[in-house]
Amino acid sequence: TSNVTIGSSSGNTTIRGNLVTNSTLSTPKIVSGSQTVAVSGTTVLDSFVATDFRSAKYIIRASSDLGFQTLEVLLIHDDVDAYITLYGDISTVDMDVVEITAEMSAGNIELYATDIAANTSIRIMGTYFFPST
């Protein structure tokens, strides 16, 4: 319930070993967080206000009764539409475990996953870049 400040505004702070956080890690222009999402049909994986961020990068790991998949997603928007590209997409089966899409809806950018098989779960880590302009 409190904030901890390490270092100064004019110097660097070096961390050796592990930096552990159980929610969000934030620097002045970058925010990063992770979560686990159960996917049934088409499910929102992440949503953010379009005016807060212009772009994001996601690392996604999907698992289902079909197999496993991991991929990276780059997302950008132009205040009207959201655009994504997928790369580093690899699966333990000869097909995707999930399909990833994005769109702008009511001023929010939403990233979606659509399951291909039963019992689909996604672990997602997102990094968001300030400012939106």
In this prediction, residue 106 carries a pLDDT of 95
Q: What pLDDT, on a 0 to 100 scale, did the predictor assign at position 10? A: 63
**3-class DSSP string for the chain:** CCCCCCCCCCCCCCCCCCCCCCCEEEECCEEEEEEEEEECCEEEEEEEECCCCCEEEEEEEEECCCCEEEEEEEEEECCCCEEEEEEEEEECCCCCCEEEEEEEECCEEEEEEEECCCCEEEEEEEEEECCCC
Q: Chunked in runs of 10, what are the mean pLDDT values of the chain (133 residues)?
A: 60 63 57 82 94 94 96 96 96 95 96 95 88 59
pLDDT of residue 98: 96
